Structure 1
Amino acid sequence: MDILKVNNLKVWDINTDKVIIHNSSFNLKRESCLAIVGESGSGKSMTCKSIMRLNKPWIRQSGEVLLKGENLNNLSEKEMKAKRGKKLCMILQNGMTAFDPSCVIGVHLKETLIEHLGWSTKQIEVKMKNTMESVMLRNPIEIMNMYPHQLSGGILQRVMIALALVLEPEVIIADEPTTALDTVSQFEVIEQFIKMRERIGSSMIFISHDLGIVKKIADEVLVMKYGKVIEEGNIETIFSNAKHEYTKHLISTKQALSNNFRNIMGEL
């Protein structure tokens, strides 16, 4: 039932001895979407970087991160690198940081797909072209021949979604993927995430502080504050019957913002 289990994850800075994540435990069910919510500094992104083993050298972690029963914390860096992309795929908040700025987009796509799937250059070009078109990217060959700085955040996010669709990973981790986008691009990217789940059946961890997006995409919700899990449950329970005062505060703030937006729009 669970594809990923995190047991007593502790993350700390060896330079300061500061504990960043305090013995967090949670499960990700197969083909479901778990949203991790909380304010900035709550530990959302650090939790997911720890799952991917992508933290800085001075950040250490303990506990278990079990992908289909295999503890990722026990793997060598070489073994872990083989998991990233094909088994675990992370879509970052800022698409610009996901690509090498000195290379055109197509070079990154080619290197990734050759490493994980062993395809020829022609196979990669055909598959990426078709998949990029399926996520509403026009002129995909032109895009693949452009540098990251020449493309908008929304286009870069959709390129990363297209790559994930081709790789078909078992777990997709999306770290605030809509934060840097305008409202129209946010809507389009979220629609592509929903379609991606339907197409490849991946399990997903979706990090966000936007509860409107969470309500649209998630099945389960994990609420974090100061590096601790303070509440978790299915989407209906969290939004209609939250137990913790912090969760209630997050939800009431979101509803107040939504009501204010509707009032403003009504006055225009």
Structure 2
Amino acid sequence: MHTLEVSNLRIWDEQTDKILVKDSSFQIEPESCLAIVGESGSGKSVTCRAIMRLNKANIRHTGSIKLAGLELSELSEAEMRKLRGRQLGLIMQNGMRAFDPSSVVGSHFKETLKQHYGWSQAEITARMARAMENVMLKDPVALMNKYPHQLSGGMLQRMMIALAIVLKPTLIIADEPTSALDTLSQYEVMEQLITLKAETGCSMIFVSHDLSAVKRIADDVAVMRNGEIIESGTAAEIFTNTQHAYTKYLIDAKQALNSHFIRSMGGLALVDR
């Protein structure tokens, strides 16, 4: 059984009648990662929010979205709330938005894990501390007593990954998880996402325009443009045997940027240092 099966997904803005996603279909296998790539406005994030049922009220969709055979469109909002976090995990683009700015970050962990598992505060703290250490966060108990604004974007992203390690959802959606970070933090967060996938055995949707990151983590790739999936296949097929001109443009543009960077830094030997 597919972890996720999306069939004939159509998304539109009810206020303007604008079509955001025209007719999208894809599947994700157990323990695999599908990367969805494309420029801003191509329909990547709105597709992910449709899966989570987190789009605004005026954004409507039709089609089938099945998680391990369960049709999500048939669930009530209360039933969806039980699935979010426990079966459907979300790692957002901006870590600051994932936490209540008026509370310490540990409060978010305790509320979420108590709701899904009913654990005591002591058990929640112990489990989160172990997971935070796994993602290279030092002194986790002290960090849990800090407010979001006291932590960097990279630390907040790793905290979301630590929470996902504890929750062990069936599917994790990572929506542009590194785009708001500096280069070093991007690398660290990518390493932790790869570790998360390996440790939990989850399936993953990785949304990004960074093809280098996609190459590192994805088993399969879907390329979106103007609300349509224009090309899909294994990561190896997409990167070595591109069929669509737009996909070729994305890959060529990334390679040109890398080459320019290497020349600007004085050559490959210096970059490798």
**TM-score interval, smaller chain:** over 0.9
Question: Aligned-pair distance for 1:262?
Answer: 1.6
Question: Aligned-pair distance for 1:266?
Answer: 2.6
Q: Give the CA RMSD over aligned residues.
A: 0.8
2:145 corresponds in structure 1 to: 145
Amino acid at match of 1:145: N
1:113-142 deviation digits (Å, cap 9, x = unpaired): 001111000000111111101100011111
1:94-126 deviation digits (Å, cap 9, x = unpaired): 000001111110000000000111100000011
Give the 3-state SS of the residue equivalent to 1:2 in structure 2. coil
Amino acid at match of 1:144: M
What percent of counterpart residues are identical?
58
Q: Does 1:126 align with 2:126?
A: yes
Question: Aligned-pair distance for 1:243?
Answer: 0.7
Distance across 1 between alignment mates of 2:165 and 2:224: 29
2:2 corresponds in structure 1 to: 2
Distance across 1 between alignment mates of 2:170 and 2:70: 13
Distance across 2 between alignment mates of 1:133 and 1:262: 35
Amino acid at match of 1:205: I
Structure 2 stretches lacking a partner, 5+ long: none
Q: Does 1:17 align with 2:17?
A: yes
Amino acid at match of 2:263: N
2:44 corresponds in structure 1 to: 44
Amino acid at match of 2:105: I
Question: Aligned-pair distance for 1:203?
Answer: 0.3
Q: Does 1:103 align with 2:98?
A: no
1:227 corresponds in structure 2 to: 227
1:178-212 deviation digits (Å, cap 9, x = unpaired): 00111111101100011111111000000000000
Q: How do residues 18-33 of structure 1 correspond to structure 2 at under 5 angstroms?
A: 18-33=18-33
Distance across 2 between alignment mates of 1:26 and 1:43: 14
Amino acid at match of 1:216: R
Q: How do residues 1-268 of structure 1 correspond to structure 2 at under 5 angstroms?
A: 1-267=1-267
Distance across 1 between alignment mates of 2:122 and 2:224: 45
Amino acid at match of 1:221: V
Give the 3-state SS of the residue equivalent to 1:24 in structure 2. strand
Q: TM-score, normalised to structure 2's length? A: 0.97
Give the 3-state SS of the residue equivalent to 1:242 in structure 2. coil
Judge conservation of contact 2:92–2:175 (CA < 8 Å) in 1. yes
Give the 3-state SS of the residue equivalent to 2:257 in structure 1. helix
Distance across 2 between alignment mates of 1:23 and 1:119: 42
Amino acid at match of 2:23: N
Structure 1 stretches lacking a partner, 5+ long: none
Distance across 1 between alignment mates of 2:151 and 2:255: 34
Distance across 2 between alignment mates of 1:201 and 1:43: 27
Distance across 2 between alignment mates of 1:158 and 1:77: 28
1:223-245 deviation digits (Å, cap 9, x = unpaired): 00011110000011101111110
1:35-71 deviation digits (Å, cap 9, x = unpaired): 0000000010000000000000111111000011111
Distance across 2 between alignment mates of 1:19 and 1:73: 19
Judge conservation of contact 2:2–2:69 (CA < 8 Å) in 1. no
1:151-192 deviation digits (Å, cap 9, x = unpaired): 100000000000000000000000000001111111011000
How many pairs does the alignment contain?
Answer: 268
Structure 1 residue ranges (4+ consecutive) displaced by more than 6 angstroms after TM superposition: none
